[in-house]
């Protein structure tokens, strides 16, 4: 509908009548020229019937005017009288330019709705009091891109935070977390034992959640803080393998122990052991070293590799894993990376997500965790 300050546009039929007057033609004359009856022409002149492309060409020949002129008249008139669009359309468009809103709605992280409600949900989700953009919440994350955080990754991190706020854990104790590391490592012998990890972390005051990534968000884990004394570890299990799970978990635990991510964003751009480690920040190097040594002490892994390379029998791998007190998949993962042969003894790369979600808050894979915004 036209606004109070806009100029009303007359129906195209008014212009046709003016042209008839200018030429001294009657309505009956125009009907004759067009090869139509007056009854057929009446709705067009009264504005009850729109000018079609065919009619525009007929009128163009009759008045010696370009047919597009008549189509433009009809288009302007129709646009003026069109319904006002739902304000949510503009809001969705503006938000979608910055955030993965459609994917967030699809996953059930926010609900679609009218403009003000949608904006309010986004503000609450990204922990801001206005619509000027997400707060720069500090987090240290392992990811495959090193540049500024892409929207899909940022949304994933805030979903981790959103779910973590709902968890109730005891006071955080770095000393207790360190003393719990041996108990966590004892779980590495059995893939099914990963479900106990979230419980042990909670006892130390660390919130742990699992969230499936959004499309195009290649991120493995994150350490973020709800406040200076409330650490959160989020994991995606993007690579659902036993060795990857324990490496990423220990990596994020080290971030917690070191207090990384409280006041600045620290990230790496590729998985540990892949690519050029020179790109890693000091924080990531510290976490990588702690994670590698946790899985298999570096000196022992190096000694085994040198002694057996290039022929690693399955028996040797199983024996070394038993000696280290870990599942063979942990050793296999190390060998695969060193040899760059990811098909080697792949049968030991067992998935763990199905065991993990039985003991953790897990969002995704067809299941949405209810969370208040």
pLDDT digits (tens, 9 = 90+) for 134-157: 655 565 655 443 346 788 888 999
Q: What is the mean pLDDT of residues 204-226?
A: 92
Mean pLDDT of the chain: 87
Least confident of 36-45, 63-72, 244-253, 341-350: 341-350
pLDDT at 30 over 60: yes
pLDDT at 218 over 60: yes
Question: What pLDDT score was predicted for residue 47?
Answer: 86
Task: State pLDDT tens for residues 98-118.
Answer: 899 999 999 999 999 888 889
Q: Confidence band (pLDDT; 50, 70, 90) for 74? A: very high
* Closest C-alpha to 272, from 310, 239, 223, 314: 239
Q: What is the side-by-side order of every strand in the sheet holding 139-143?
A: 266-268, 139-143, 219-225, 231-235, 207-211, 361-363
Q: Confidence band (pLDDT; 50, 70, 90) for 339? A: confident
Half-sphere exposure in the Cβ direction for 330 (13 Å, CA): 29
Interatomic CA distance for residues 74 and 60, integer angstroms: 14
Question: What pLDDT score was predicted for residue 115?
Answer: 86
Question: What pLDDT score was predicted for residue 133?
Answer: 56
Interatomic CA distance for residues 107 and 194, integer angstroms: 25
Question: What pLDDT score was predicted for residue 84?
Answer: 87
Task: State pLDDT tens for residues 162-192.
Answer: 999 999 999 999 999 999 999 999 999 999 9
Q: Are strands 361-363 and 231-235 parallel, antiparallel or unpaired?
A: unpaired
Q: Confidence band (pLDDT; 50, 70, 90) for 6? A: low
Q: What is the mean pLDDT of residues 284-308?
A: 90
Q: Give CA 333 to chain center in angstroms.
A: 28
* Closest C-alpha to 135, from 147, 144, 127: 127
Question: What pLDDT score was predicted for residue 275?
Answer: 39
- The CA-atom distances, in angstroms, between 372 and each of 78, 111, 116 are 43, 11, 17
Question: What pLDDT score was predicted for residue 274?
Answer: 43
Question: What pLDDT score was predicted for residue 3?
Answer: 52
Which domains does the chain show, CATH number per domain?
Answer: 12-80 (1.10.260.40), 87-125 (no CATH), 139-363 (no CATH)
Task: State pLDDT tens for residues 238-280.
Answer: 889 999 999 999 999 999 999 988 875 433 233 444 434 445 6
pLDDT at 130 over 60: no
Question: What pLDDT score was predicted for residue 282?
Answer: 85
pLDDT at 125 over 60: yes
Question: What pLDDT score was predicted for residue 7?
Answer: 72
Question: What pLDDT score was predicted for residue 210?
Answer: 97
Question: What pLDDT score was predicted for residue 146?
Answer: 38
């Amino acid at each position: 509908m036209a606004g109070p300050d806009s100029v009303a546009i007359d129906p195209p039929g008014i212009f046709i009548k003016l042209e008839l007057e200018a030429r001294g033609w009657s309505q009956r004359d125009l009907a004759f020229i067009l090869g139509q009856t007056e009854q057929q022409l009446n709705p067009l002149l009264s504005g009850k019937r729109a000018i079609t492309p065919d009619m525009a060409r007929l009128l163009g020949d009759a008045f010696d005017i370009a047919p597009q002129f008549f189509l433009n008249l009809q288009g302007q008139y129709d646009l003026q009288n069109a319904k006002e669009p739902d304000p949510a359309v503009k809001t969705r468009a503006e938000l979608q330019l910055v955030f993965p809103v459609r994917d967030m709605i699809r996953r059930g992280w926010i609900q679609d709705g009218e403009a003000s409600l949608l904006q309010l949900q986004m503000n609450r989700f990204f922990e801001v009091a206005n619509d000027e953009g997400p707060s720069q919440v500090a987090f240290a994350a392992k990811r495959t891109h090193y540049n500024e955080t892409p929207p899909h990754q940022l949304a994933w991190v805030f979903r981790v935070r959103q779910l973590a706020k709902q968890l109730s854990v005891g006071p955080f104790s770095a000393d207790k977390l360190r003393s719990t590391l041996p108990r966590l490592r004892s779980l590495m012998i059995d893939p099914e034992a990963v479900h106990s990890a979230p419980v042990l972390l909670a006892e130390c005051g660390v919130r742990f959640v699992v969230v499936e990534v959004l499309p195009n968000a290649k991120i493995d884990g994150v350490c973020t803080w709800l406040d200076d004394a409330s650490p959160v570890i989020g994991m995606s299990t993007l690579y659902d393998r036993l060795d990857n799970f324990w490496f990423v978990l220990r990596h994020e635990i080290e971030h917690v122990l070191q207090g990384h991510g409280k006041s600045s964003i620290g990230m790496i751009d590729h998985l540990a052991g892949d690519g050029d480690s020179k790109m890693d920040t000091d924080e990531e190097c510290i976490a990588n070293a702690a994670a590698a040594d946790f899985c298999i002490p570096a000196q022992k892994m190096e000694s085994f590799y040198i002694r057996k390379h290039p022929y690693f029998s399955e028996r040797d791998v199983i024996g070394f894993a038993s000696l280290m007190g870990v599942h063979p998949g942990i050793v296999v993962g190390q060998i695969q990376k060193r040899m760059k042969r990811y098909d080697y003894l792949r049968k030991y790369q067992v998935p763990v997500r199905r065991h993990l979600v039985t003991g953790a808050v897990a969002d995704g894979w067809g299941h949405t965790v209810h969370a208040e915004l």
